[in-house]
Structure 1
Amino acid sequence: MRKTVTRVFAATAAIAASFALAGCGGASNTADSSNTKLTKVTFMLAWTADTNHIGVYVAKNKGYFKDAGLDVDIIAVSKTGAELAVNNGVADFAVSNLYNAASYTDLKGAHIKQVMQVQQKPSAIWCALASNTAIKSPKDFDGKTFATFGGNESDIVIKRMVQYDGGKGEFDKVTVGTSTFKTLESGQADFGGFYSTWEGVQAEMYGPKLNCFTEPDYGVPGNGDAIGIITSDKLIKENPELVRKFVQASQKGYEYAYSNPDDAAKILVKEAADYHLEEAFVKKSMHVIVDGQYWGDPAKIKDGSFVLGTNDFTGTQERFDFLGEGHAYTDANGNPTDKVPQSKDGATNEFLKGAK
């Protein structure tokens, strides 16, 4: 029986609730079993637990947070999304991406920052079932049906890939139901979006087999998958030392996972037991990340010329500008706007250990 791994592909859906809501909650003091005072903080998942979150689970398991004086509670994503939860103080930190941090801040009235960018290059793949022999390259998406999660950012990416490959960039759309895999298998759509480090692993290990194409190979600039950790401007202003402690302990967790992928996989499976992850699957996902150098060049991390977690303002701005040319953006009310988000407004490297 084929395993099913669920994760939402589109991270850019419009937020219906206003970012102007007042926040409550935030960090507080608690005591552990040894009566040592620890500061309690909350970390929210961005979807289900997966290898994008693994460094935080490792930091918790290895005691890196405790050593920093923190008691970290990892919580499920809220219905309104991690970004709104962090903005309103429901969660102190969360996994998100620089696209959301900058676009929500510049266009939708949020006050959030990405304080650590784990993923340094795109992992998005655009695929058809391998059994669909009518699709051999992106130009064959013309006239076919795209399984979408909504929003027009992905439409612009697909259009560029098709046109780069010699097609017109004209296709129909259908909203994904329970999963993109099932939408394709049902025949409702011909192609859709996945992540090579997760759904790509699922397809390889359990099926269905996919025929996939990557964005850089077909003229799409920048990095739209700058996944990392966000917090609120309010917490940065009121308690920068807490932010520094959390970021550097998490950074240490991701560094450990990058150097010890198999052990980190075991930790994620154990610590995120409610998600019933299969160890072999998580190990494979981690090895795809390491082999593909998705978190940076390990040699450069080792010699100190690159700091794991550094926010990439250049690659992300290239993506913002590209999407701006395609009129992708909407404001807090859902109205089109030609204002282009700025990466520098959505991220900071000031809390990373070793950042220059």
Structure 2
Amino acid sequence: MKTKKIGLLLLTLLLILVAGCGSKATENGAGKTSGETSSAVGENEPEKLKDVKVVLDWTPNTNHTGLYVAKEKGYYAEEGLNVEIMQPGAGGSDAMVASGKVPFGVSIQENVTQGRTQGVPLVSIAAVIQHNTSGFAAPVDRNIKKPKDFEGKTYGGWGSPVEQAVISSIMENDKADANKVKFVNMGEADYFTAVKRDIDFAWIFYAWTGIEAELRNEPLDMMYVKDFSDKLDYYTPVIVTNEKQIQEDPELVKAFMRATSKGYEYAIKNPEDAANILLKAVPELDKDLVIASQKWLSPKYQDDAARWGEQKEQVWKGYSDWMYEHKLLDKPLDVDKAFTNDFLP
């Protein structure tokens, strides 16, 4: 499971796309679509479902299971929605949602934060996972047990300033020198290929790559970023929409989130069944990995929150303050406009 593939590097493209499409009506917004019922339809004919798209942040995985469950179990149909789950185009999910090309998508708090400080109208409407399950992973034979052990090692990443900022920050706290770390771009190589080729450690989601390491019997040492600072316990991933969608058709947002919430609640209670639903929709995925990943991740969707999807102001403020302190933002984030819990059931 790759993370932050869009991130800071594609914000320029995102801004251009938003500017170019901002004046256009959204494809699935408040206006009629081909799926809506015409006034000429007879009273005895069943009401047609409204076509709605949701775009993923990356290839399908267990971060997305609740969406597939909501579709398969008929929760979207119960809300009058015919939902298409799609993979992102070249511009990424953030650009597609911010521009109004699709009404809903999967993103991460970092992208929403960075985007909003530059005028991108994304709004987070749910936290998929309550706590950050990402961190730095290394094969145990590299003997990387703490940030100071990064010295003299090679880190494989995607070239984002956030990576260097996080590594420098946690190494500084460990009285270590980040200048002694060699940074290389992994490109499209996966973690297992890269650590055998030319890197010592990388930033991964444990729910996917970590579980895969277990199944491969390739043990790794894992350092979760949230363990080094409360400010790094941010939401990744999140479900997003755009400001125009909220303003023009809040009822659609509510309906989508009612069904989506039911999907994730089902996955929390029935991890193996939910995994099989994901596998049915995406049969090319590795069955053992999906089932093991789902069992590990399902309890973490809601964790200690009062309900699935709940977002806290201190989490948004803490991480945006951290980004601003480390010069990753040009200005502080207006937190109240970046997220909302109003559409959670």
TM-score, structure 2 normalization: 0.88
Give distance in 2, aligned partners of 1:84 and 1:319: 22
In the other structure, the counterpart of 1:90 is 101
Q: Identify the residue that residue 111 of structure 2 maps to in structure 1.
A: 100
Cα distance, 1:98 vs. partner? 2.6
Q: Is the 8 A contact 1:9 1:193 kept in 2?
A: no
Identify the residue that residue 41 of structure 2 maps to in structure 1: none
- Name the count of aligned residue pairs: 326
Letter in 2 for 1:78: G
What corresponds to 2:184 in structure 1?
Answer: 174
Q: 2:215 aligns with which of 202, 205, 208?
A: 205
**What is the CA–CA distance in structure 2 between the aligned matches of 1:237 and 1:217, rounded to whole Å?**
38
Match of 1:129 in 2: 139
Corresponding residue of 1:138: 147
Cα distance in 2, alignment partners of residues 184 and 280 from structure 1: 22
Where does 1:163-242 land on structure 2 (aligned, <5 Å)? 163-170=172-179, 171-177=181-187, 178-187=189-198, 189-219=199-229, 221-242=231-252
Cα distance, 1:36 vs structure 2: 2.9
Query: 1:9: how far off?
Result: 4.8
CA drift of 1:244 comes to 0.5
For 1:71, the equivalent position in structure 2 comes to 82
Residue of structure 1 aligned with 2:28, choices 6, 26, 29? 26
- Taking a change above 3 Å as real, the CA distance of residues 351 and 217 of structure 1, as seen in their structure-2 partners, is closer
CA distance in 2, matches of 1:169, 1:220: 21
Q: 1:37 to 1:229 in 2, by over 3 A?
A: same
Over 3 Å counting, the alpha-carbon distance change for 1:136 and 1:228 in structure 2 is: closer
Deviation (angstroms), 1:152: 0.9
Q: 1:80 aligns with which of 70, 86, 91?
A: 91
Instruction: Look up the equivalent residue of 1:141 and give its one-letter code.
Output: F
In structure 2, the CA distance between the partners of 1:49 and 1:95, relative to structure 1 (3 Å rule), is same
| Alpha-carbon contact 1:203-1:209 (below 8 Å) kept | yes
C-alpha displacement at 1:11, in angstroms?
Answer: 5.1
Pick from 334, 342, 346 the counterpart of residue 338 of structure 2: 346
Give the Cα separation in 2 of the matches to 1:59 and 1:8. 24
Q: Secondary structure at the match of 1:77?
A: coil
Distance 1:294 1:256, change over 3 A: closer
Paired position in structure 2 for 1:309: 309
1:303 — aligned with what? none
**3-state DSSP class of the match of 1:198?**
helix
Deviation at 1:346, TM superposition (A): 1.3
Q: Which has the higher helix share?
A: 2
Q: CA deviation at 1:351?
A: 0.9
TM-score by length of 1: 0.85
- Residue 222 of structure 1 deviates from its aligned partner by 3.6
Tell me if the contact between 2:8 and 2:111 (Cα under 8 Å) persists in the aligned partners: no
What SS is found at the alignment partner of 1:14? helix
In 2, Cα distance between the equivalents of 1:31 and 1:229? 24
Q: Name the aligned partner's letter for residue 265 of structure 1.
A: A
In structure 1, what is the equivalent of residue 321 of structure 2?
321
Please report the RMSD computed on the Cα atoms of aligned residues, expressed in angstroms.
Answer: 2.0
Select between 257-266 and 22-31 the one with higher mean Cα deviation. Answer: 22-31
Question: Deviation digits for residues 168-216 of structure 1, max 9, x if unmatched?
Answer: 22222111122233222102x2211001111111111125432221223
Amino acid across the alignment from 1:30: G
Match of 1:281 in 2: 289
How do residues 3-14 of structure 1 correspond to structure 2 at under 5 angstroms?
6-10=1-5, 12-14=7-9
Counterpart among 295, 307, 310 of residue 302 in structure 2 = 295
Deviations 1:127-147 (A, max 9, x none): 2222223x3322010232211
